[in-house]
Structures are given as structure tokens and as C-alpha cells.
A and B are shown apart, each in its own frame.
Chain A
Amino acid sequence: MAAGVAAWLPFARAAAIGWMPVANCPMPLAPADKNKRQDELIVLNVSGRRFQTWRTTLERYPDTLLGSTEKEFFFNEDTKEYFFDRDPEVFRCVLNFYRTGKLHYPRYECISAYDDELAFYGILPEIIGDCCYEEYKDRKRENAERLMDDNDSENNQESMPSLSFRQTMWRAFENPHTSTLALVFYYVTGFFIAVSVITNVVETVPCGTVPGSKELPCGERYSVAFFCLDTACVMIFTVEYLLRLFAAPSRYRFVRSVMSIIDVVAIMPYYIGLVMTNNEDVSGAFVTLRVFRVFRIFKFSRHSQGLRILGYTLKSCASELGFLLFSLTMAIIIFATVMFYAEKGSSASKFTSIPASFWYTIVTMTTLGYGDMVPKTIAGKIFGSICSLSGVLVIALPVPVIVSNFSRIYHQNQRADKRRAQKKARLARIRVAKTGSSNAYLHSKRNGLLTEALELMGTPEEEHMGKSTSLIESQHHHLLHCLEKTTGSSYLVGDPLLSVRTSTIKNHEFIDEQMFEQNCMESSMQNYPSTRSPSLSSHPGLTTTCCSRRSKKTTHLPNCNLPAARLRSMQELSTIHIQGSEQPSLTTSRSSLNLKADDGLRPNCKTSQITTAIISIPTPPALTPEGESRPPPASPGPNTNIPSIASNVVKVSAL
């Protein structure tokens, strides 16, 4: 229940009077208003700044420090106010949370200070409203990264005795600053990459003439020297590649990575050249292969962060670039066609075909204007000028758009993914809160039943199984109970003493989805031609009138013609499942929207509850004919079925 809506509970309860004439059974008693005190103002003194609010405002969230009795520890008898020695600025946000139900994160506040304050007041940061949640998460991530960087740099100075040799080597490759050896290796490979690239370049420079023959490029003049250099470089590269392959934690993934492919492509030409030196036919192809040696320059990207970022940039902006290319192509084809037909008439025209005109169009549109092809006819000149003008537009316009598009799309994608993830998390939170509220009802019912059953069995247990629920809780539960009695349906509680309970069940009950499906499955299994949804079943079963006693012998299920024995076995099966640990159902303490007070017997396991709820959302329980279980993977076994049942999400209507 949201905070403000708690104020409407009197209205909802009053509206329940509309059900009274329709109901056939007597209604349960209303919870007594034990200490009905008038709403009073309480004063909260936070480091000298006084805040005042109504007591009921704070009690909206009984799971926080201010909403629970924990604040009594801070009560100052002399001044009759609650004194907190904390930051008043953040307290303002905290108090607004109680008032409006939304927690905001002020941008000027430091993230760790804010987190500390929230932790002090017992408020989960997940409750931060959508308006501020992104900002909060961003800051938190930056902070975490900063911490991680600090930790990393600390760790780098420590020794890591537990790493294996292979792992040390991999770390050395990835992060050259870990040890001196790694640094040496890093520089050596860098040097050899540079040498190799320079060699490739210098190889082709004409090196002066040898008397008696034409000018030779240096590569052919000093071929032995160049060959030795090449060999040395390739040796180093091969050794490096093999070492990396050995040290990689996942060899398969390493082989598929871009850098390793570049490595391979860089050294392959050499080996291929070794293999087929003397064959004249393929030496032409071999010469082409040498072009791939230029890929060695890409090996520098391991050494340069900037290159990596550029590569990633281009990759992420590929669609924009593709669009630019496409629009250019369109323009080129159009203008080339036009120029070709315009220049067709003129003699000795260079525009021999449309593809030949492509070159002219490209040169003109990019405003290069080599002048090797010029139109001679008047029409050609006119279209040529149109072409160059439009070239300026076609090229100059999209480029800044691409640049800004890139930055915008990049950030937008990140934000969209974040929002999607947050949306799922947010819906999950809402679902948890809703199941929490309904399961709180089930839980309190169960506690009520337990105490009833215990009284029946005469065991001298204490009456209260746990903390009593808040007044709002009990009133809400009473309301739901009245609804049950009105309709003759109620929530079925998975309690261990179900067999005791069934003898006193008078009505339909609310059940959670699990029990419901189990019942349906079992009934359908027994050749009962009903579908899973009750509304589709149309069997003239025995009707349950409200208040009919359903003992274990006879069945009054309106929905099925099951023989009594079956029903009993079904009930027994259900009791088997719902055995006994005294673990109460999903309680939603601070892990929910901080509204529930059902701590009960449960030890403090906040986050686990959330995860089970989330896990169980998409998968409906699979039912075997024996009815054995179906707990979601998070819960560990039949003995803790209660948390699993309770944590199975009940479908709720949309807010």
C-alpha cells in the first residue's frame, strides 16, 4: 500500500458496508483500536534544525528507524523531542519521503554521505523515485569505479601468491604495469612493431641506382638485410602470439578475438611466402599477400587506448556511416547518369560510360576537382555545377549530424538500456511489495490460524507468534477478511496445520497461484474436464453455499465432481507440501517499500526475498502428478516450502 493511500483506509472500510446485505455469513470482528490516541505533532531535532510532523506520517513506514520504536532511543526527555546528530540537509529528503512516498536524491549531495544517511534511517536506496534514480545510479557507479580503481592500484603493489604461472603471464600481457618483465615485453613488442612497419615502408623507396641497371627500391637492393629484419620481427610476433595463446584463460575466446586475428593476419604472409617461394604463377598472388603486412600497424592498438576507443566509436556508429554512404551512392549514381547522357553528344568525351562518370561525380562532389575529366557541353557544365553544389550539401551536412548523432545515440542507448533494466527492477519491486502486502495478509492469517490450531491442540504455546502487526495492517486484513466472508471465498493459506483448518473451512478462500494451479492440475488429472481457469469450467458441481461445513469426508467444491477420497488425498497432498518449518511466508521488511511490519519468526534475510520473488515471476510452477514440487530454483527444498510458496508471485492487477 502506498503511503497516502493508507489515509484512505477508513473510506475503503466504510465502503465495505456495501457488501454487508449481500453476505450470508457473519463478519469477523474488527480489530480493536488499542491505544487510540489523537494524532500528535512530534518534533525531530536534527543537529539543531527542528522538523515537525505528524506521528501518523512517520508511522506509514514502520520498517524504518523513524517509523518504528527505534526512534525512542533518540528521545530526549528534557526537551521532549527526538534528537538526531546527523546531517539536516539529507534529513529533509528523508522526511519528504515519509510525507510524499517518494524519495529524491539531491544532486549536490555526495553519494557516499547520502548512502550513509539512508542506511542510518533504515531506508533502502532502491526506493528512490524514477526522477532521481538515474542520477543516483550514475553517481553510484562512478563512485564504485573510483573505488575499484583505487583497489586495483593498491592490489598491484601487493604480491599475489595464489595466481598460477599462467594467470600471472596473462595478467602481465593485459596490464604491462604489473611487473618489470611485463613492461619490458610491452616495449620490446612495440619497438618491433614499429621496426616492422618502417621496414615495410622503406622497402619500397627507391634507393639510388646500381650502375648498369635501373633504379631499384631498397627492398630489392638490400634484400638480404630486409629479409633478416622481417624474419626477426615475425619471430617475435609468433612467439608473442603463442605465449598469449598459452596464457589465455579461454583459448577459444582468445582465438576469436579481433586482436588475435590481426596478429595472425600480420604474420601469415611471411610463412606463406616461405612455403611457396619459387612458384612463378602464385608469386603474383604472394606479392598481394604482402599487403597484409600493413596490418601489423593495428597491433599498436594494444599499446594505445585511443585507437581502441576510435575503433569502438566507428563500430557503434556504423549505421550512421552506412546511411551516409548510401545517400552518397544515390547521389553519385544520379549525377553520373545525368552527366553521361549530357556529355554523350560531345566528341572525344571522357565520359565513356556511366561507371566512368562515377569517378567524375565523386571527385566533383567531394570538391576535389582533379580536372582529369571535365564536361564540354553546356548541359554538362550546368549539371556539373549542380553536382558540385549538391556535393557540398550532401557531404557537409550529414557529417556534423553524424558526429552529434553518434554522441546522442551512444548516450541514449546507454540510458535506454538502463531504463529498461530499471523498469524490470521497478516492476519487480512493485510486485514484491504487492505480494508482500497480500502475503502479509496470508501470513497474519496463518499466524492467526496457528494460534487457533495450537489452542485447539491445547499446547501451551505463547499467544503471539511474532510482532503484532501495525494497526493499519490489521485493519486492512480485516477488510480483506470481510470480503472473503461476503463472497464465500478466501485466500487459502499454506499452513502446516491445513488438515486441522480444512475441517473448519467454510468458504472459498484466497489461495496463491501455486495452490490454485495445483488444485486445478490435480482435478484435471483426475479426468475432470475442466481447464485451468475456473471461469471456463461449466460443470454442474455441488454448490457451496456460504457457511456449509466442509468436513474432510464430503466435498463441497462447486467446481468438481471429485469423490471424497480424492479430495482428501488432495488436501493431504497439499499438507505434505506445505510442511512445517516455522518459517513464515515472505515477509517484506525493509526489502519492500518499507511498509510491512511482519518480521515474525523470520531471521533477517532481506535480499534473498527479493531475489526469490524475481526469480519466480516468469516461471509458473511445474506440477507433477504427485504434486511434488515446484518450488522455484531459489528455494532449497521441500522443508522450506513455505517461503517458496509465499514467494511465488501472486498475479496482481495493475496499479
Chain B
Amino acid sequence: MGAVMGTFSSLQTKQRRPSKDIAWWYYQYQRDKIEDELEMTMVCHRPEGLEQLEAQTNFTKRELQVLYRGFKNECPSGVVNEETFKQIYAQFFPHGDASMYAHYLFHAFDITQTGSVKFEDFVTALSILLRGTVHEKLRWTFNLYDINKDGYINKEEMMDIVKAIYDMMGKYTYPVLKEDTPRQHVDVFFQKMDKNKDGIVTLDEFLESCQEDDNIMRSLQLFQNVM
């Protein structure tokens, strides 16, 4: 594995000596400060080899190169955390507030829930989204909507997602967005997706309903040639 994590975090617990020695306290403070600074600068991650990534994803080497160059430019440390993720995503939607949707996206990308997205995760998700089968894409989308990752989408989760999407539009829309426009949208969605009307959407219901809908099928093919 080519992954090298160079963190210099001080994992040892500091023993608090019950000493009133001023010099000792001062020395501890300095050491902590230095260690904190070191910790901040030393986190770094290198991805696996190019061949391995090419085998694992559906991208060619050239495409992986282009992707990595862009990734590294924005995140020199090799991992992207949620804040950076939100900032980057917000730049594409200057009118509205893309932070909530970016938050959900981040957690969909961060499969292992570590709080940071490495290049491999990034490229894996992109591979599914851009080059995957319809089944895989729908599954990924289901995972995105399922905020608590329990395997079911309930109305609250859907409401959150839809509200986040509407937030990206911003305030200035015509006609103006009402409070319950998202709710109505979610109701329409549930009517379509929830086959057995039990208030939750399972993966199978989701896959089935989406495959029945031509619009959705067609729009999933939209970004085939993004790379």
C-alpha cells in the first residue's frame, strides 16, 4: 500500500504533575504549542499507485492524472475535509447556500466516515457517478439520500435533502419559493417511490421506481461524457 500517513500527533496523555513549578508549566506550554503546529502541518496522504486506481475504477490513466492534478491543486495535503469540500462546492452555486447539500455529499463520499475524503474515495465515487452502471448510480444516490445510513429513506431524510437542494437556489427565484414547496416536492416523490405506502423507501422500491421513470433514466445518462 502506498498510503503514507505522516502524522505527528501526540497521542500520549499528558500527566499533570501536581507541581507548582512555573518553569515546568512554561515548558509544557511551549511543547504543546510546537506539537500542535507540527500536527497541523504534517498530515499528508499519498494515494495508491496509478495502476491500482486504474484497475479499481473505470477511468483511464490520463483521466486519473487530470483528476489528481485538480485534486492536488486544491488540497495539497492529499485529503479534503468537510470545510474545503463545502467551499469548493459553494463556488459553483454563488446564489444560494450549497453548504447543506455539500455536507450530505461529503458524507456520501466519505464511505469510511473518517471525516476526510482521500483521493481514492473521491475517484471511486466519481467512477460510479460518471462511468458506473445505472444500478450502481441509483445505489449511490440511495446512499446519498439515506443520511443515517440505516438502509431506509424516511420522509425526514428526504425533506432534508430536498431542502438542501432548494437552498442552493438561493432566495431570489421567480416565483418565490414557499415554505412548503419542498414538502410538496417530497410528497410527490414519496408518492412515486413508496410502493407499499409504509412511509419509508427501501433500496428495492427506490430502484424499481426509478427504473420505471423514463425521465430519471435519461437524466442519469446525462453526464456520461463529463470527463
Task: State the A residues within 8 Å of B (CB).
Answer: 1-2, 4-5, 7-27, 29-30, 33, 36, 38-39, 434, 437-438, 475-476, 479-480, 482-484, 486-492, 508-513, 515-516, 519-520, 533-535, 537-539, 541, 543-545, 556-560, 650-653, 655
- Mask, B153-167, CB within 8 Å of A = 1, is 000000001100110
Cβ-neighbour of B185 out of A26, A39, A488 (below 8 A): A488
A15 touches B105 (CB 8 A): yes
A541 CA to B90 CA, complexed, in Å: 32
A100 CA to B15 CA, complexed, in Å: 45
B141 touches A535 (CB 8 A): no
- Mask, B86-122, CB within 8 Å of A = 1, is 0111111111111001001100100000000000001
A368 CA to B121 CA, complexed, in Å: 79
Cβ-neighbour of A544 out of B69, B71, B175, B227 (below 8 A): B175
- Mask, B60-92, CB within 8 Å of A = 1, is 001000110111011000000000000111111
A617 CA to B69 CA, complexed, in Å: 37
A487 touches B166 (CB 8 A): yes
A25 CA to B213 CA, complexed, in Å: 11
Beta-carbon nearest neighbor of A547 in chain B: B215
- Mask, B198-227, CB within 8 Å of A = 1, is 000000001000100001101110110111
Tell me the minimal C-beta distance from B91 to chain A in angstroms: 5
B126 touches A483 (CB 8 A): no
A9 CA to B92 CA, complexed, in Å: 8
For B138, list chain A residues within 8 Å (CB): 21
Whether, in the assembled complex, B169 has its beta carbon less than 8 Å from a beta carbon of chain A, the answer is: yes
Tell me the minimal C-beta distance from B109 to chain A in angstroms: 9
Tell me the minimal C-beta distance from B137 to chain A in angstroms: 6
For B141, list chain A residues within 8 Å (CB): 17-18, 20-21
A8 CA to B170 CA, complexed, in Å: 22
A437 touches B74 (CB 8 A): no
Q: Give the interface size bracket for B toward A.
A: 35 or more
A377 CA to B68 CA, complexed, in Å: 87
Whether, in the assembled complex, B184 has its beta carbon less than 8 Å from a beta carbon of chain A, the answer is: yes
Within 8 A of A (CB), among B118-150: 122, 125-126, 129-130, 137-138, 140-141, 144-145
A480 CA to B215 CA, complexed, in Å: 18
Beta-carbon nearest neighbor of A523 in chain B: B176
Cβ-neighbour of A558 out of B62, B91, B104, B175 (below 8 A): B175
Whether, in the assembled complex, B173 has its beta carbon less than 8 Å from a beta carbon of chain A, the answer is: yes
A30 touches B222 (CB 8 A): yes
For A24, list chain B residues within 8 Å (CB): 185, 188, 215
Beta-carbon nearest neighbor of A489 in chain B: B173
9 A/B residue pairs, CB under 8 Å, sorted by A: A21-B138, A510-B95, A510-B172, A516-B174, A539-B178, A556-B175, A650-B94, A650-B95, A653-B170
A39 CA to B70 CA, complexed, in Å: 13
A13 CA to B225 CA, complexed, in Å: 11
For B172, list chain A residues within 8 Å (CB): 510-513, 515-516, 650-651
For B169, list chain A residues within 8 Å (CB): 483-484, 487, 489, 508, 510
A651 CA to B74 CA, complexed, in Å: 25
A533 touches B171 (CB 8 A): yes
Tell me the minimal C-beta distance from B170 to chain A in angstroms: 7
For B188, list chain A residues within 8 Å (CB): 24, 545
Beta-carbon nearest neighbor of B178 in chain A: A558
For B170, list chain A residues within 8 Å (CB): 510, 651, 653
Whether, in the assembled complex, B30 has its beta carbon less than 8 Å from a beta carbon of chain A, the answer is: no
For A479, list chain B residues within 8 Å (CB): 92
Most B C-beta atoms less than 10 A away, residue of A20, A488, A508, A539: A20
Whether, in the assembled complex, B9 has its beta carbon less than 8 Å from a beta carbon of chain A, the answer is: no
Report if A483-B168 is in contact (Cβ < 8 Å); known contacts: A11-B126, A14-B129, A15-B89: yes
For B62, list chain A residues within 8 Å (CB): 38-39
B89 touches A12 (CB 8 A): yes
For A483, list chain B residues within 8 Å (CB): 93, 165, 168-169
A491 CA to B222 CA, complexed, in Å: 21
Beta-carbon nearest neighbor of A5 in chain B: B91
A10 CA to B130 CA, complexed, in Å: 9
Cβ-neighbour of B93 out of A475, A480, A513, A545 (below 8 A): A480
B92 touches A22 (CB 8 A): no
For B21, list chain A residues within 8 Å (CB): none
